[in-house]
Amino acid sequence: MKKSNLSDNEWRQRLTDEQYRVTRRAGTERPFTGEYNEHFEDGVYHCVCCDHPLFDSQSKFHSGCGWPSFDSELDQAGIEQRFDDSHGMRRVELVCSNCDAHLGHIFDDGPPPTGKRYCINSVALKFRSRSM
């Protein structure tokens, strides 16, 4: 897969201020404020920056953490994991494999069978319904 390599200025023009802050500067949206936190329609969640498919709605679950949570990614997503030592803790950051957008973090407190919780910023996602 060829990586998307837009300039910083091109990303600023393409994204809203909040999308840019979160995806290009590794920010975080406030908990319980995101469009997809309580969203449970049937479809696929894509990267807001490059439209790469990331998560199937069937892997989404209600974690109560304030951000959309998934127990697995799509096979073709290939989400990259990187250590993140910011904010005085060690976490694993999730980054879009196609455009390097910051998506969120992954934790080992999810439901079976994976035990994973992909904790994702709503603003890093766009949803496509299967009914369309």
pLDDT in tens, 95-119: 999 999 999 999 999 999 999 999 9
Question: Looking at 47, 49, 99, 119, which residue is catalytic?
Answer: 119
Residue 75 lies in a domain: yes
Indicate whether 2 belongs to any domain. Answer: no
The answer to whether 1 touches 97, Cβ cutoff 8 Å, is: yes
Give the per-residue pLDDT at 87. 72
* Number of helical (H) and strand (E) elements in the chain, helices listed first: 2, 9
pLDDT at 1 over 70: no
Ramachandran region, residue 122 (left: φ > 0; alpha: ψ -120 to 50; beta: rest)? alpha
1 belongs to a structural domain: no
The answer as to whether 3 is a domain residue is: no
CATH number, domain containing residue 55: 2.170.150.20
Q: Where residue 4 falls among pLDDT bands split at 50, 70, 90?
A: confident
Q: What pLDDT score does 89 carry?
A: 80
pLDDT of res. 86? 80
In a domain, 29, yes or no: yes
pLDDT at 2: 61
State the pLDDT at residue 64.
93
> What is the per-residue pLDDT for 131?
80
Q: What is the mean pLDDT of residues 47-67?
A: 96
Domains in the chain, number: 1
Catalytic residue status for 50: no
> What are the backbone dihedrals phi and psi of residue 118, each rounded to the nearest 5 degrees, phi first?
-80, 105
Pairing of strands 117-120, 69-70: antiparallel
DSSP SS3 for 87: helix
pLDDT on residue 132: 60
Q: Which letter, b or e, does each residue of 84-107 get, where b requires 16 or more Cβ atoms within 10 Å of its Cβ?
A: beeeeeebebbbbbbbbbbbbbbb
In the prediction, which pLDDT does 90 show?
Answer: 83
Task: Find the domain containing 121 and state its range.
Answer: 8-129
Residue 38 within any structural domain of the chain: yes
Give percent of the chain with pLDDT exceeding 70: 98
